[in-house]
């Protein structure tokens, strides 16, 4: 029992998204914790907390993207170091949960890497996980610790609400994103359309049918992530071919690998809006891209967890 003793709130950052961590700490009006993250000559990762974390309520912010394997290993090492330094509670904040696309077996002899990552984090010793717009909500069930699943839907939809776009139709790029698209449509008071998509290979998509009316309307394509941008650009072409007047896109996670930027630049998409769950390199910041920060949402989540308050009201982004 704590006997009323308040544990010190401490926020630390891995190396994958320090800008977001700095913004979160600033919103909380605390300094970002000091940790030495370096490498041995053979590439092994070293983590050393430069301040006492004994008895602290620790929050480690690390997104699993870009160099995803290094980011994951660094996070595991930071968790282990904090646990061995007698931190009272360790909450990991993973804005983009890596390996989430492999959340089930679709063919024989495949791994379920989303579960493997959950096992690694649990074994390392986390007490809680916070993530944003998981690729599959079922990933929450892979953990035996509390999981707070935040969403960027409110922030993204607010942006488009402020634009006051007329005759708007929200378009889901496939049936798997219909639930998210429906939330956007309801919030914006817009119609809903669905694209029927086939995926013959990883990172390759083919649009076959548009279900719903897009002719004469402004189309807003929504997804949880844009990786190679093949799906969203194919979707943009499909809605334009079916009569859409303008095309916008919104996604929580800007993975943006391969020829993604080239495809977006050449596409009929007028603007692509992301959150800052993954940092975008300067050379990839084309004029079409707009980034909205989730620092305030994450800071409120941290505060509510630390104060034993409700986090569920933040799941919809009602902040």
C-alpha torsion angle, residues 154, 255, 134, 175 (rounded to 10): 80
Which of 7, 34, 197, 288 does the annotation list as catalytic?
197
Strands (E), the chain: 9-13, 35-39, 45-49, 57-61, 89-94, 128-132, 147-150, 168-172, 191-201, 204-211, 218-226, 246-254, 269-275, 289-292
Location of structure tokens 């949960």: 97
Cβ within 8 Å of residue 152, ≥6 positions away: 132, 133, 252, 275, 277, 292, 294, 297, 317
Question: Per residue in 30-56, is it b (16+ CB within 10 Å) or e — as a string?
Answer: eebbebebeeeeeeebebebeeebeeb
The yes-or-no answer on residue 161 being catalytic is no
Distances (CA, A) of 156 to 99, 271, 298: 24, 12, 15
Distance CA 239, CA 245 (A): 9
- Cβ atoms of 97 and 64 within 8 Å: the answer is yes
Q: Which residue, 204, 178, 208, 203, is CA-closest to 192?
A: 178
Chain centre to alpha carbon of residue 201: 23
- Cβ atoms of 38 and 46 within 8 Å: the answer is yes
Distance CA 254, CA 227 (A): 7
Residues with active-site annotation: 197
């Amino acid at each position: 029992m704590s006997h009323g003793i308040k544990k010190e709130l401490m926020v630390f950052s891995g190396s994958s998204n320090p800008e977001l961590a700095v913004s979160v700490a600033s919103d909380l009006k605390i300094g970002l914790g000091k940790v030495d993250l370096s490498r041995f000559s053979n590439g092994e990762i070293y983590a050393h907390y430069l301040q006492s974390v004994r008895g602290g309520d620790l929050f480690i912010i690390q997104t699993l993207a870009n160099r995803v394997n290094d980011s994951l290993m660094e996070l595991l090492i930071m968790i282990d170091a904090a646990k061995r330094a007698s931190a009272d509670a360790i909450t990991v904040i993973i804005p983009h949960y890596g390996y989430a696309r492999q959340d089930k077996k679709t063919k024989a002899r495949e791994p379920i890497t989303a579960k493997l990552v959950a096992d690694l984090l649990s074994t390392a010793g986390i007490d809680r996980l916070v993530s944003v717009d998981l690729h599959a909500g079922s990933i929450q069930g892979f953990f035996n610790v509390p999981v707070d699943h935040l969403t960027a839907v409110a922030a993204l939809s607010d942006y488009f609400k402020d634009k006051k776009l007329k005759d708007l139709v929200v378009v889901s790029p496939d049936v798997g994103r219909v639930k998210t698209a429906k939330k956007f449509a309801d919030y914006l008071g817009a119609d809903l359309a669905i694209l029927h998509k086939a995926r013959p290979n990883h990172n390759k998509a083919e649009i076959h049918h548009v279900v719903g009316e897009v002719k004469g309307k402004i189309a807003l394509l929504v997804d949880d992530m844009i990786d190679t941008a093949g799906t969203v650009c194919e979707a943009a072409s499909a809605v334009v071919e079916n009569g859409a007047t303008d095309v916008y896109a919104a996604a929580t996670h800007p993975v943006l690998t391969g020829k993604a930027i080239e495809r977006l630049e050449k596409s009929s998409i007028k603007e692509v809006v992301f959150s800052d769950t993954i940092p975008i390199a300067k050379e990839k910041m084309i004029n079409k891209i707009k980034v909205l920060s989730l620092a305030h949402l994450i800071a409120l989540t941290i505060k509510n967890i630390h104060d034993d308050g409700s986090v569920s009201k933040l799941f919809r982004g009602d902040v």
